[in-house]
Amino acid sequence: MAFAIDDLASVLGHWSADDITGLSDGDAVSTWIGSVGGNLTGVTTTRPLWRPTGIDSQPSVQFDGTDDVMSSAGITIDGQLAVAVVTSCDALKNYNGAYNIHSTTTPTYPPKFGGSMQYGNGTILFGNAPVSQHNYITNSAVVSATVPILTVYGVGDITTLIQVDGKHYGAASSAGDSVRTSATGTGYVHLGTNAFSGSWFDGHIAEIVVFHVSVVATEWLYIEAVLAHKYGITLPSSHPFNAAPPTSGPPSAGGGIQIARGMSGGMR
């Protein structure tokens, strides 16, 4: 039996556009069915649009960059949190925010548990609170308009993780190692904005996974690999699953962080 993302007990929320049913190309999306974590629902007077072949001939939800946002019911956040998301920007612009995870039912800046913003120069920033903190990739333009991109961002007391298309990126931080400070409680996932002024997302979101990163396992490698192969994203040759997606899940105990470091340098 093939490995599936939802086989992982650490998955807190999982939304894939191919789980949306009953819509035709260009129809407004009011409900985005989640396989874990409940459904996302539209919370504004406008809705993003369903596209049957939005990213690599796979379904996506297209946000207009003006006012489209979808939000989840509450999920329980427990410390080491990570988000994997497949996006494609229709156009590069500053404060292009794909997601915001906060303790409020509407998106609020700064994001309490995690958020992302892409910029017109191709750089990308990730942030979290309870104190306003952020990690950002330095000296690298990793985002191009209309090109699918897979990002994984994890933050907590133990790990800080930034992966783009399977490649690990070192990051500058607004708060040094304190940016690793994690938070617990009820979180709400908001797609289409980072809640910063003008941060409405202009582009497609095909799939997003919110998950807990355990100390001993390497869930992110497996989630990253499944998404990359599904959406035609080439992983580096150093990635353990660059040739094919995993057929079984991660180890349940022992050596996970060392394995991650040795394979792709992903955690610090």
DSSP string over 141-182: ----TT--EEEEEEESSS-EEEEETTEE--EEESSGGGGG--
- Tokens standing for 180? 């690793």
- Picking from 33, 36, 30, the residue whose alpha carbon sits closest to that of residue 12 is 36
Per the prediction, the chain carries an average pLDDT of: 86
Fold of 5-264: Jelly Rolls (2.60.120)
Percent of the chain predicted with pLDDT > 70: 82
Task: Tell me which of 113-117, 185-189, 233-237 is least confident.
Answer: 113-117
pLDDT value for 143: 94
With the CA atoms of 39, 251, 81 and 239 taken in that order, what torsion angle do they form, in degrees rounded to the nearest 10?
-100
* Claim: this prediction has a pTM higher than 0.85: yes
pLDDT band at residue 78 using 50, 70 and 90 as cut-offs:
confident
Of 107-111, 145-149, 178-182, 212-216, which one has max mean pLDDT? Answer: 145-149
- Tokens standing for 19? 């789980």
pLDDT value for 261: 35
- Picking from 254, 218, 208, the residue whose alpha carbon sits closest to that of residue 239 is 218
Domains of the chain: which residue ranges? 5-264
With both helix axes pointing from N to C terminus, report the angle between 256-264 and 219-230 in degrees, rounded to the nearest 10: 40
pLDDT value for 174: 60
Cα dihedral across residues 25, 120, 227, 36: positive or negative: negative
pLDDT value for 205: 98
Task: Tell me which of 87-96, 144-153, 154-163 is least confident.
Answer: 154-163
Q: Give whole-number Cα distances, 235 to 20, 221, 230, 248, 259, in Å.
A: 27, 11, 12, 18, 17
pLDDT at 144 over 90: yes
pLDDT at 16 over 90: yes
pLDDT at 130 over 80: no
Cα dihedral across residues 175, 136, 199, 210: positive or negative: negative
pLDDT band at residue 180 using 50, 70 and 90 as cut-offs:
low
pLDDT at 56 over 70: yes
How wide is the angle at C-alpha 34 spanned by C-alphas 38 and 195, nearest 5°?
A: 80
pLDDT band at residue 265 using 50, 70 and 90 as cut-offs:
very low
Task: Tell me which of 48-62, 163-177, 238-252 is least confident.
Answer: 163-177
DSSP for 221-260 reads HHHHHHHHHHTTPPPPTTSTTSSS--SS---SSS-HHHHH
pLDDT at 256 over 50: no
Q: CB–CB of 44/68 below 8 Å?
A: yes
pLDDT band at residue 177 using 50, 70 and 90 as cut-offs:
very low
Q: CB–CB of 220/235 below 8 Å?
A: no
